[in-house]
Amino acid sequence: MAEQALSGVRVIEYGEMVAAPYATKLLADLGADVIKVEPLGGDPARRHGPFPGGKPDPDASGLFIYLNSNKRSITLDLHSARGQDVFAALVADADVLVHNAPPAQMAGLGIDYRALSQRNPRLVMTSVTPFGLTGPHCDYATTDLILWNAGGVAYLNGGGPGSGAMPPLKTFGEQAGFQGGVNAAIATLGALYAAARDQQGQHVVVSIQESIAAILELTFEYWPYMGLVASRLGVKPIQPLDFMECRDGWIFLCCIEEHQWRGFVELMGTPEWASMELFDNRLTRAQNWDALKLLLQDWVSQQSVTELYRAAQARRIPFAPVSTMGDLLHSEHLKTRGFFATVAQPGVGAVTLPGAPFHFSQTPWRLVTPAPRLGEHTTDVLTRQLGIAAAQVDDLRQRGVV
């Protein structure tokens, strides 16, 4: 097998749900050896689902399987002194530690950069936190909904003309965790690159709120540049740029350049109304969108999503289908690219999940092992990696440390 980009990098993860586990998943899929340290009750993602048949099973959660394949799992009670000793020994031998324990709990769990780096000066320790390690909000309780709002994306979404009563809207899933995770992977790899040069590690702190506030497109700058509060209720400055229902599903109409609109008009058979002054350019089309929308809807509702998508793209008009999950799984394009991956998950069977998010010409992304059962590799890691005698591991198990 071809070697991978991060072969030889050893990572310890003490993570739960998405942020830290996604950061280390990105590294594991590129070849890093990731040991996931779970509390005795397991990562809460094991209880999150989706589950086959909707039946909760800690070894069958879709979210857990996706985030933790290619990793090994050990259990460890970090609230006990002996658990912390084992943890420190693991970290002493690693290049990277990634965790998302709350700041208020870190010291109590033995997750202390100063202490850990004394035994391992080249350690890169990454703390993925909701709001950083200091400041008035650092100990605030959060979930994805809270952070998506704290970062400012939710306020930009939802509502729309005529629907001001509807609240700011969360994006599907655990997007705050994913954004924290991918930012943590970048910062970790940067620090690791520095450590390769001079054998000195460091402490990396990632703020999820900041990770989200950094991706507000052009809206953040409206305040410092023009003194304007960006509003979700604003009418779009140009049109068509909207969702519309076809006879068999939804499509997204997207005419940003004038030639795209002209192409769309031709595609509709050049209806007479299209030459009205009201719809002369993208700005007037937006000003008169209420009227134009009805005219377009009339035509679009008779089309099929796929045919309209293909016909538009053939004219270089960037329409897109509103893909359902089924559409994605059946997409010839994604199939040709080999995007979806399948893992043989013990106790579950073949599970199909999103695969390589990037293609490397020399060092491939690879899905090698299924997600581990809770503590599946505890004995193996403790005896072989840390040299702890099997009898001692049994003792730790009886004392509830592992």
d(CA 142, CA 164): 26
Nearer to another protein, 8 or 271 (CB): 8
Provide the 3-class DSSP secondary structure of residue 126.
strand
Alpha helices in 199-247 (DSSP H): 208-213, 222-226
Nearer to another protein, 31 or 83 (CB): 31
**Cβ within 8 Å of residue 252, ≥6 positions away:** 242, 243, 244, 319, 320, 321, 322
Q: Cβ of residue 179: shortest distance to another protein, in angstroms?
A: 8
Nearer to another protein, 315 or 397 (CB): 315
Contact 310, 260 (CB under 8 A): no
Q: Cβ of residue 3: shortest distance to another protein, in angstroms?
A: 8
Nearer to another protein, 83 or 263 (CB): 263
Q: Cβ of residue 401: shortest distance to another protein, in angstroms?
A: 27
d(CA 230, CA 216): 10
d(CA 285, CA 261): 10
Nearer to another protein, 333 or 391 (CB): 333
Nearer to another protein, 39 or 152 (CB): 152
The DSSP line for 289-343 is: HHHHHHHHHHHHTTS-HHHHHHHHHHTT---EE---HHHHHH-HHHHHTT-EEEE
Q: Cβ of residue 109: shortest distance to another protein, in angstroms?
A: 19
d(CA 52, CA 49): 8
Place of tokens 């749900």: 17
Q: Cβ of residue 103: shortest distance to another protein, in angstroms?
A: 13
**Cβ within 8 Å of residue 88, ≥6 positions away:** 110, 115, 116, 119
Nearer to another protein, 243 or 294 (CB): 243
Tokens standing for 204? 């990396």
Q: Give how far Cα 366 sits from Cα of 10, 41, 391, Å.
A: 17, 29, 36
Q: Of how many residues is the chain composed?
A: 402
d(CA 136, CA 21): 26
d(CA 243, CA 246): 10
Nearer to another protein, 1 or 226 (CB): 226
Nearer to another protein, 85 or 257 (CB): 257
Tokens standing for 278? 């009201």
Sign of CA dihedral 142, 147, 148, 152: positive
Q: Cβ of residue 98: shortest distance to another protein, in angstroms?
A: 12
d(CA 274, CA 288): 12
Nearer to another protein, 97 or 396 (CB): 97
Q: Cβ of residue 33: shortest distance to another protein, in angstroms?
A: 14
Q: Cβ of residue 209: shortest distance to another protein, in angstroms?
A: 7
Q: Cβ of residue 239: shortest distance to another protein, in angstroms?
A: 12
Closest CA to 189 of 207, 213, 210, 206: 206
Q: Cβ of residue 391: shortest distance to another protein, in angstroms?
A: 39
d(CA 283, CA 262): 14
